[in-house]
């Protein structure tokens, strides 16, 4: 069975990725924080534990409480994974926070926290697993990006952090090419995707969020966690053995200035 770490894998889109990978036969080490995070509805591990129990996947998922921005905490997750399973085949860098705001109304402390989670967290988790992947000449890292990474209004800090993740993805793909470590990005979104972050931006009212008039995707509906999980699973799989430095846009055109406006 492949062994995969999922940062922020305990709630929302990360929970979808965790449970999908477990159902596909991965041993998953999912970690996040049990305490509420700024501008997000993510809280606790109860929903993940209930889902994996109901689906008979509890023996395939380890749930850990750890802060992705804390180097020692991330190392503990890596050490736990190696001690329990003996290897690390995949990493999904999903943990992120995304409060809205311009540079004028984003406090310096909040700006620093966004970069600590979104960018430093991706760096720390990648730095923790790459030596072990390189030692066995292979592995796959999937970074979860955002259409905001190409610039969107009222998201100055978040957009900047996701732009950094795009650049970091491509840099790592180059740097670890000869280690046979694949590094790619999957972008959710396209308008209407439900996540702890997106719902948190409207005060936690999921019904209000769903009532917004959005075009969604070419499927005629908003993307969902399963859509993102499908793309992540593909990028982690041997079917993507030759793919590195690639962006898969699950949300349709999010990386081209989208989302597409609703049809008039």
Q: Rounded to an integer, what distance in angstroms lies between the CA atom of residue 96 and that of residue 121?
A: 8
pLDDT score of 256 more than 80: no
pLDDT tens, residue by residue, 88-139: 999 999 999 989 999 999 999 999 999 999 999 999 999 999 999 999 999 9
Helix axes 46-54, 12-23, angle to 10 degrees: 20
pLDDT tens, residue by residue, 35-89: 877 666 566 799 999 999 999 999 999 999 999 999 999 999 999 999 999 999 9
Torsion sign across C-alpha atoms 171, 176, 181, 182: positive
Which domains does the chain show, CATH number per domain?
A: 3-256 (3.40.50.720)
Q: Is 158 a catalytic residue?
A: yes
69: enclosing H helix or E strand:
none
From 85, 123, 150, 158, the catalytic residue: 158
> Which pLDDT does position 143 carry in this prediction?
98
Using alpha carbons, list the distances in angstroms from residue 99 to 8, 119, 160.
16, 15, 12
Average pLDDT over residues 150-168: 94
Helix axes 12-23, 225-236, angle to 10 degrees: 50
Percent of the chain past pLDDT 70, that is, above it, reads 83
- The DSSP 8-state label assigned to residue 32 in this structure reads E
Decide: residue 69, CB within 10 A, 0-12 exposed, 13-18 middle, 19+ buried: buried
Average pLDDT over residues 228-239: 98
Q: Give the pLDDT band of residue 252 (cuts 50, 70, 90).
A: confident
Contact between residue 179 and residue 130 where contact means Cβ atoms under 8 Å apart: yes
> Which pLDDT does position 206 carry in this prediction?
53
Find, among 132, 223, 216, 141, the residue nearest to 185 by Cα: 141
Beta bridge pairs of residue 181: 139
Contact between residue 193 and residue 223 where contact means Cβ atoms under 8 Å apart: yes
Percent of the chain past pLDDT 90, that is, above it, reads 73
> Which pLDDT does position 220 carry in this prediction?
83
Q: What order do you get walking across the sheet with 139-144 strand by strand?
A: 61-65, 27-32, 3-7, 90-93, 139-144, 181-187, 247-249
């Amino acid at each position: 069975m492949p062994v995969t770490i999922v940062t922020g894998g305990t709630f929302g889109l990360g929970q979808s990725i965790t449970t999908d990978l477990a159902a596909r036969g991965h041993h998953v080490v999912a970690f996040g924080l049990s305490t509420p995070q700024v501008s997000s509805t993510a809280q606790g591990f109860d929903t993940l534990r209930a889902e994996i129990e109901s689906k008979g996947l509890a023996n395939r998922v380890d749930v850990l409480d750890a802060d992705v921005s804390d180097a020692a905490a991330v190392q503990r997750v890596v050490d736990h994974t190696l001690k329990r399973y003996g290897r690390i085949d995949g990493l999904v860098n999903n943990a992120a926070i995304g409060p809205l705001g311009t540079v004028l109304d984003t406090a310096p402390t909040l700006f620093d926290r966004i970069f600590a989670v979104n960018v430093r967290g991706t760096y720390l988790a990648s730095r923790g697993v790459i030596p072990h992947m390189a030692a066995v000449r292979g592995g796959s890292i999937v970074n979860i990006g955002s259409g905001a990474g190409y610039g969107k209004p009222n998201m100055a800090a978040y957009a900047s952090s996701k732009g950094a993740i795009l650049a970091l993805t491509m840099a790592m793909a180059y740097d670890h090419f000869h280690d046979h470590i694949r590094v790619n990005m999957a972008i959710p979104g396209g308008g209407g995707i439900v996540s702890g972050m997106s719902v948190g931006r409207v005060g936690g009212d999921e019904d209000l969020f769903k009532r917004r008039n959005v075009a969604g995707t070419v499927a005629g509906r908003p993307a969902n966690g399963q859509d993102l999980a499908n793309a992540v699973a593909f990028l982690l799989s041997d079917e993507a053995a030759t793919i590195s430095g690639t962006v898969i846009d699950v949300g349709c055109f999010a990386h081209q200035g989208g989302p597409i406006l609703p049809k008039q």
